[in-house]
Amino acid sequence: MNITEEIQDLKREKNAVILAHYYVNPEIQEIADYIGDSYYLSKVAVDLKEQTIVFCGVSFMGESAKILNPDKTVLMPDISADCAMAHMADAKTIQKMREEYEDLAVVCYINSTAELKRLSDVCVTSANAVKIVKALPNKNIFFIPDRNLAHFVASQVPEKHFVYNEGYCPVHEEIQEQEIRKEKELHPAAKVLTHPECPQTVRDMSDYIGSTSGIIAYAAKSDCQEFIICTENGVRFELERQNPDKRFYFTRTEPVCHDMKKITLVKIRDVLKNGGNEIQVTDELRRESVEPLERMLELAK
């Protein structure tokens, strides 16, 4: 029996389902039951019939799934797979902003720890942030942790006053304007599709800015045959699967989230077999962090 067959057998035996983000390695995307961006995966997680969720992604994703489904078992193939940006905000600053600004909403990108979510009014993902911020009654928005996504949302919702936090994604921050210019010279007809975690200079050169699912949907619908992709290289698999005749270019220093790449078939098999790496969230933390997540799911409908 090969490892894929072993995983399929274990899944049936343990009543488990595999969720995967587009940034994980192709062989993981191939065996996943559901694959998508952070928003899609958080929606899917609340409607699953299986008792065990194996989450092929980083810790904030598994943690969110557990918070939304406290009665389910959420297993992480690699418990050390984490998102650096998820820690780039702090309770003290949130408290300070609440004291400084009246009529303030603390808007928390889902790429954050549960400890940050519990201090926030609503969560967002890159797929729904503009819609949700527009729908909030508050004038002032303190957006944590990502400054790049915050600036992008602010540009789309000029009627609100934004207060920025200095968090960023180390992978997207590395994508540089000069590299895109070089790619544009090589492929002048290509459209530039960009994740909003990229720096403003890159966003300014883009034909489309959106979540990983947004980028994939744009490429599939477009009449254009070539694209310069400004996000993590894991999306290449789905882009090429859906569009075998189109061409996708990444910057020379291809963006890689090494934490997402920690997930392997062997680790999935082992976690299914032995039940290790279970996400644990205390009742108190769960109660306080579920509200902003549920508010997100409601407002994004």
Q: Which residue from 42, 59, 112, 125 is in contact with ligand 13P, where contact means CB under 6 A? A: 125
Among 37, 63, 78, 232, binds ligand SF4 (CB under 6 A): 232
Regarding 64 and contact with ligand 13P (CB under 6 A), the answer is no
Name which of 104 and 260 has its Cβ closer to ligand SF4: 260
What distance in Å separates the CA atoms of residue 244 and residue 272, rounded to the nearest whole number?
33
Residues 287, 283: Cα–Cα separation, whole Å: 6
Beta bridge partners of 21: 36
Question: CB within 8 A of 33, min separation 6: which ones?
Answer: 17, 18, 19
Query: Which residues are bridge partners to 146 per DSSP?
Result: 167
The single residue among 171, 198, 239, 281 that binds ligand SF4, judged by CB under 6 A, is 171
Three-state SS letters, 83-111? CHHHHCCCHHHHHHHHHHCCCEEEEEECC
Among 194, 212, 233, 289, binds ligand 13P (CB under 6 A): 212
Q: Does 169 bind ligand SF4 (CB under 6 A)?
A: yes
Binding partner at 84 among ligand 13P, ligand SF4, none, C-beta below 5 to 8 Å by kind: ligand SF4
Residues with Cβ within 8 Å of residue 158, at least 6 apart in sequence: none
Piece of 27-35, 122-130, 167-175, 241-249 that binds ligand SF4 (CB under 6 A): 167-175
The nearest distance, CB 92 to ligand 13P, in angstroms, is 25
Contact status: 37 vs ligand 13P (CB under 6 A)? yes
Residue 221, exposed/middle/buried by CB under 10 A (0-12, 13-18, 19+)?
Answer: exposed
Binding residues for ligand SF4, per CB under 6 A?
58, 83-85, 111, 169-172, 197, 232, 257, 259-260
Binding residues for ligand 13P, per CB under 6 A?
37-38, 111, 125-127, 169, 195, 197, 211-212
